[in-house]
Structure 1
Amino acid sequence: MNNDIRCLPKEDAKINCTPLLNKEFNSKFWGFLHKLWKKFVKIILADPNELQVWQKVDRYGNIYWQAYDPATGKSFSSGSQADVYMWIEQLYRY
Structure 2
Amino acid sequence: MNNHIRCLLTEDIEINCSLSFQKKIHSNFWKSLYIIWENFVKKILADPHELQVWQKVDRHGNIYWQAYDPVTGKSFSSGSETDVSMWIEQLYRH
TM-score class, shorter-chain normalisation, is: 0.7 to 0.9
Range that drifts further, 22-31 or 55-64: 22-31
Measured after TM superposition, the shift of residue 41 of structure 1 is 1.1
Runs of 4+ residues over 4 Å off in structure 1 = none
Aligned partners of 1:76 and 1:61: how far apart in 2? 20
**Cα deviation digits, residues 39-93 of structure 1 (max 9, x gap):** 1111111111100011111111111111000000000011111111111111110
Aligned partners of 1:56 and 1:28: how far apart in 2? 20
Amino acid paired to 2:66: Q
Aligned partners of 2:36 and 2:49: how far apart in 1? 23
Partner of 1:82: 82
Give structure 2 stretches of 5+ with no counterpart.
Answer: 1-10
Q: TM-score, normalised by structure 1?
A: 0.75
Measured after TM superposition, the shift of residue 19 of structure 1 is 3.7
Q: TM-score, normalised by structure 2?
A: 0.75
Measured after TM superposition, the shift of residue 21 of structure 1 is 5.1
Measured after TM superposition, the shift of residue 24 of structure 1 is 2.8
Aligned partners of 1:24 and 1:92: how far apart in 2? 46
Aligned partners of 2:57 and 2:77: how far apart in 1? 12
Amino acid paired to 1:58: D
| Structure 2 counterparts to residues 52-63 of structure 1, below 5 A | 52-63=52-63
Aligned partners of 1:93 and 1:32: how far apart in 2? 39
Other structure's SS at 2:56 match: strand
